[in-house]
Amino acid sequence: MKALALEKILQSQGYGSRKWCRERIEGGDFRVDGQVFTDPKFQIDPSAHAFTVYEETFHYHEHVYLVLNKPSGYECSRSPTRHPGVLVLLSDAMRRREVQPVGRLDHDTTGLLLLSDDGGFIHRQSSPKYHVPKTYWAHTSEIVSEGDAEQLKQGVRLNDEPQPIAALSSKVIAPQTLEIVLSEGKYHQVKRMIAAIGHHCARLERVAIGKLTLSSLTLPEGSWRHLSEEERALLVAPPNTPPLN
Ligand code: URA
C-alpha cells in the first residue's frame, strides 16, 4: 500500500489531532515494530508494520469492521436518550474514527452488532436490497409450537404494513424459543411478528448475520473486536437469493 507519513498514520487511526500525534512522535512516544521513530513526516507503508503509542500496539486499518456482543441496556442510536449508547463500549480511538452501528437493535436486544466507519459497507449490510439474513432467537413468555413457526413463515400482518410480512425461515428450538430469520429490519420487527401470532417476546437475541454466528466468535457480552477478512466474507447473502424487488 502507498506510504504515509507517521503523523498521518497515527491521526487516521483515531488517536488524536494531527498536532497531538506530531507531538507524541517528536516526544519519542511512538514506535514502529518496537523501534522509536521521532520524525512525524517519515513515510512508511502502514500495512506492513505494527505501531505502538503509549504502550498500546495497533495495526493500520483504512476502515474498521467491528463486531460487538451487545448487552441489554444500551441504545444503538447516535444520540441516546434513555440508556447509554453502544459506542461507550468501544475504545476512544474507535469513537474518534466515528464508527457507527450497522442497523439498530432495541436497547434490550442482545447479541451480534456490527459497527464500521465504511459507509458503503454500512449501506450494503443494512439495505433490504442486499438480503443479508439476520437470525434471532425470540424467547417467549409462553410455550410455542411448530404451528407458530409456520405462521411466521407464511406471513403475518403488522399494523402499519400493507402486505403480510414473512420470515425467511422459522423453527422451534426450545419449548419457549423460536428461531426466526429475516432479511429486513423494520421497527421492532421480531417483537411485533411474535405479538402478531399471539405471543410475547420476553427476550431477544441476534445470533447470526449471514453465516457469521455469535457462538463462533467466543466474544463475552459487552466485548468487541475487529472482524477478520474471513469473517467479513460470511456476512454476505447466500448465493441464489432472489431479489426482493
Ligand atoms: N426486531 C426487534 O423487534 N428488535 C430488535 O432489536 C431487532 C429485531
Main-chain phi, psi angles of 89, to 5 degrees:
-80, -10
In degrees, to the nearest 5, what angle opens at C-alpha 233 toward C-alphas 118 and 125? 45
Which atom of ligand 1 sits closest to the CA of residue 182?
8
CB of 109 shorter than 6 A to ligand 1: yes
* Tens digits of residue pLDDT in 68-98: 999 999 999 888 899 999 999 999 999 999 8
- The CA–CA distances, whole Å, from 52 to 10, 25, 60, 76, 237 equal 9, 10, 11, 31, 37
Give the pLDDT confidence score for residue 212 in this predicted structure: 96
- Residue 94 pairs in a beta bridge with none
- Pocket probe for ligand 1: among 190, 193, 214, the residue whose CB has the most ligand atoms within 8 Å is 190
Contact 14, 97 (CB under 8 A): yes
User: Nearest to residue 224, comparing CAs of 90, 58, 71, 63?
Assistant: 90
Domain boundaries 65-127+214-232, CATH class: alpha beta
pLDDT in tens, the chain (245 residues): 899 999 999 999 999 999 999 999 999 999 999 999 999 999 999 999 999 998 889 999 999 999 999 999 999 988 889 999 999 999 999 999 989 999 999 999 999 999 999 999 998 888 878 888 999 999 999 999 999 999 999 999 998 888 999 999 999 999 999 999 998 888 899 999 999 999 999 999 999 999 999 999 999 999 999 999 999 999 975 555 554 44
Same fold: 65-127+214-232 with 133-209: yes
Grid cell, residue 202, equals: 420476553
Long-range contacts of 199-202 (CB under 8 A, 24+ apart): 199/140, 199/141, 199/142, 199/144, 199/148, 200/140, 200/141, 200/142, 201/138, 201/139, 201/140, 202/139, 202/140, 202/141
Long-range contacts of 87-90 (CB under 8 A, 24+ apart): 89/222, 89/224, 90/66, 90/115, 90/224
The residue behind cell 487511526 is: 13
**Is any atom of ligand 1 closer than 6 Å to the C-beta of 188?**
yes
Determine which one of 29, 45, 92, 106 is catalytic.
106
pTM of the model: 0.90
Rounded-to-integer distance, Cα 49 and Cα 56, Å: 14
Q: Which CATH superfamily is domain 4-59 in?
A: RNA-binding S4 domain (3.10.290.10)
* Ligand 1 pocket check for 110: Cβ under 6 Å: no
In this structure, CATH architecture of domain 133-209:
2-Layer Sandwich (3.30)
Euclidean distance between the first and the last CA atom of the chain, given in angstroms as a whole number: 39
Spatial contact of 56 and 49, defined as CB atoms under 8 Å apart:
no
Which residue type is seen at 243? P
Q: Is 148 one of the annotated active-site residues of the chain?
A: no
